[in-house]
Amino acid sequence: MIKDIQGLHHVTSLASAAQSNNDFFTKVLGLRRVKKTVNFDAPHVYHLYYGDEVGTPGSVMTYFPFPGAKRGRHGTGEVGITGYAVPKGTLPFWRERLATFDIAVKDTSAFGETRLEFTGPDGDEFALIETEDDRAPWTGGGVGADEAIRGFHSASMRLKDDGATAELLKFMGYKERARDGNVTRFGVPDGNGADVIDVETLPGAKPADQGAGSVHHIAFAVENRAKQLEVRKALSDTGYQVTPVIDRDYFWAIYFRTPGGVLFEVATNEPGFDRDEDTAHLGEALKLPRQHAHLRDVLEQKYLEPIRD
């Protein structure tokens, strides 16, 4: 069994427009844009990262905004709700804040936790979940320290059949914590705070069709490259087709497709988002990886619409 997974590292989704995406995360949710770069595999598209002050693993939501992309259809074989942790007693504040941005909310509860569900600009599914959490929030986005988002609480997967994925999560070090209706909750002990995965079983539902508003993959955090190689070997030895280690500049990544259809990544906590920018100015300038640096002029002039902060 793998013992080095600490919880989520980041969640990566698709969007239809960079500006509305940026505004939703920085102005509505009050997160910090910690990196403005491009999709390393399709550099004519931005890759935007939002998180806490430094983009601590477990706080980082990332997007590929493909201009005008058609909206995805939610269904099975995908990540559904991305849950954010907020302090106890703050949902009334958030209900009011979201209302001022004309965002409809739904009050729900699961596993004894009170939550507020809502959608992003492309129908992306989120929940704010009240929980005890001692992670330090980013407060530069207009939400005070008493209410601000602490980082991810969880990601939920919608699956036709949860059996093989449950086995995989256990192999990855997750333990079954509880069941609520058709949802099984898994958690990794002594994790990074973003340590919950909910698996919802929907045998009769249609498969998802990926598009804007869909989660593309979720990444799990490991401390460093040595641990990542151990995780890669353990997954490969179990029969998973895992990619070679890929340099994403701010972390190292491996990817593999899970039995339920969701794409998993395992990403390193090193080197982090401050490797090429001062912490005070994270996310401000367009940063390009070495392999795409020669494209800067054409990307800035033709493809990447400037983002107004």
Near Zn ion by CB under 5 A, which window of 6-14, 87-95, 182-190, 196-204?
6-14
Using CA atoms of 109, 111, 112, 115 in order, give the dihedral in degrees to the nearest 10: -30
Rank residues 49 and 118 by Cβ distance to Zn ion and give the closer one: 49
Tokens (6 digits) for 205: 């539902």
**Nearest-approach distance from CB 51 to Zn ion, in angstroms:** 13
CB of 115 closer than 8 Å to CB of 129: yes
Near Zn ion by CB under 5 A, which window of 8-16, 78-86, 95-103, 220-228?
A: 8-16
- The residue among 11 and 168 lying less far from Zn ion, judged by its C-beta, is 11
Reduced to 3 states, what is the DSSP secondary structure of residue 50? strand
Report in angstroms how near the CB of residue 62 gets to Zn ion at its nearest: 7
Torsion from C-alpha of 70, 293, 226, 150, nearest 10 degrees: -50
Task: Mark residues 138-167: x for contact with Zn ion by CB under 5 A, - for none.
Answer: ------------------------------
**Measured from the CB of residue 219, what is the shortest distance to Zn ion in angstroms?**
4
Give me the 250-279 binding string for Zn ion, x by CB under 5 A, dash otherwise: ---------------x--------------
The gap from C-alpha 64 to its chain's centroid, in whole angstroms, comes to 12
CB of 116 to Zn ion, least distance (A): 26
Token readout for 157 is 């997967």
> Looking only at residues 212 through 251 of this chain, which bind Zn ion when binding is defined by CB under 5 A?
219
Total residues binding Zn ion (CB under 5 A): 3
What is the token pair recorded at 298? Answer: 């054409």
Nearest-angstrom CA–CA distance, 228 and 248: 14
Residue given tokens 């998993």 in the structure block? 264
CA dihedral 250, 220, 150, 308 (to 10 degrees): 40
Closer to Zn ion at the Cβ: 124 or 265?
Answer: 265
- Figure out which of the listed residues 6, 12, 13, 258 binds Zn ion, where binding follows CB under 5 A: 12
Which of 4-12, 50-58, 271-279, 283-291 is the region at the interface with Zn ion (rule: CB under 5 A)? 4-12
- Backbone dihedral angles phi then psi of residue 72, each to the nearest 5 degrees: -75, 165
- Interacting residue ranges for Zn ion, rule: CB under 5 A: 12, 219, 265
